[in-house]
Amino acid sequence: MPHAPVINTLPILDLSLLDGSAQQRRQFLEDLRHAARDVGFFYLTGHGIDSGLLAQVQDQARQFFALPDGDKSAVGMINSPHFRGYNRAASEITRGQPDLREQFDLGAEREALPLLTDSPLWAQLQGPNQWPQALPPLKPLLLDWQQAMTRMSLRLLRAFAEALSLPADAFDRLYGDKPNEHIKLMRYPGQSSAASHQGVGAHKDSGFLSFLLQDQQAGLQVEVEEGCWIDALPRDNTLVVNIGELLELATNGYLRATVHRVVSPPEGSERLSIAFFLGAQLDAVVPLYPLPTVLLREARGPASDPLNPLFRDVGWNYLKGRLRSHPDVARRFYADALIPAAPLRKTANA
């Protein structure tokens, strides 16, 4: 019986091949399906996002983190029931331990939903961002980048549908006109050899697709097999893409949401990364898509943590993750939230 190949680096896929010859397109779709199933992570080139825009986003992120603490605290997440804003290092929790990074979270720039007596708790997640007054260029730049990333990621998601022998628009109804677009600017300060090195603890992403823009400092690690970690080293003008748990759930585990972590950089250095997460509309319910029999035979079922179960209801799933990661915001704005009693949930086993 042949052994599975040893994975020591992430696959590299070129999105521009979707516009190539018929053979190039077929090969890209096949490579995409294998990368997403076998690894759950890959490098993406040919994504069409202007390299100058990527450089500007990185430059503005550095300028934001260089602001005085008072300017950053003025847009602290603790002020936002929508979980938008700044957190200093060790504020976010992963698997019960603090993550040693400071970060700035943004979502789609939308007005808050009116809250009625029968509104679900997750309705509070939609709302405006907080923007630092000391850095006016940040808002228009990040909103431009958000729109560019949304266009590109929805194109990639349609390619996923084709790769799975589904209609190209199979996932479209989950997004409609209000996809859950989430940006996270992250700075990892260097740590001494005696300190914790949990930049971010081991976890899976909860949405559909995640995209990461890295600087030149290594740190991202991917668990390709249980206990076997590889480095996702930075590459110029290249995004790291990974599958989220909801896409794994939608394909009955055919596509793979993979555990990953970030190791803090050494003392005297720092690491900057910028993530874009594409999620479905908050009011969407994730169905189980009818894959061809040949693919279903290879589906492994979604790997849901019994202590942190997946919900098919997108809003509840997203809120659950936010409450776990940001207990201070949860205490301030969601003190009465009892997720186990949440109505209309559809778990991975439902």
Nearest to 245 by CA among 186, 318, 160: 318
Nearest to 211 by CA among 240, 238, 179: 240
Percent share of the chain, pLDDT over 90:
71
Q: Which domains does the chain have, with CATH numbers?
A: 12-341 (2.60.120.330)
Nearest to 106 by CA among 139, 87, 84, 73: 84
Q: What's the pLDDT score for residue 36? A: 95
Largest pairwise CA distance in the chain: 62
- pLDDT tens-digit map of 307-325: 556 678 899 888 988 998 8
Q: What's the pLDDT score for residue 336? A: 76
Q: What's the pLDDT score for residue 194? A: 82
- Residue 252 has which token pair? 């009955």
Mean pLDDT of 39-52: 97
Mean pLDDT of 200-228: 93
Q: What's the pLDDT score for residue 308? A: 57
Measured distance CA(225)–CA(108) in Å, rounded = 35
Q: Do 107 and 84 contact (CB within 8 A), yes or no?
A: yes
Q: What's the pLDDT score for residue 310? A: 66
Q: The whole model's pTM is what?
A: 0.92
Strands 12-14 and 41-45 turn out to be parallel
Cross-strand partners of 277: 182, 210
Instruction: Tally the C-alpha atoms within 13 A of residue 165's C-alpha that lie toward its C-beta.
Output: 8
Measured distance CA(298)–CA(51) in Å, rounded = 38
Does the pLDDT of residue 343 top 60, yes or no?
A: no
Q: What's the pLDDT score for residue 175? A: 83
Helices vs. strands in the chain: H and E counts, helices first:
8, 14
pLDDT: is 280 or 43 the higher one?
Answer: 43
Measured distance CA(162)–CA(159) in Å, rounded = 5
What single letter denotes the amino acid at residue 325? Answer: S
As a residue count, the chain comes to 350
Average pLDDT score, the chain? 90
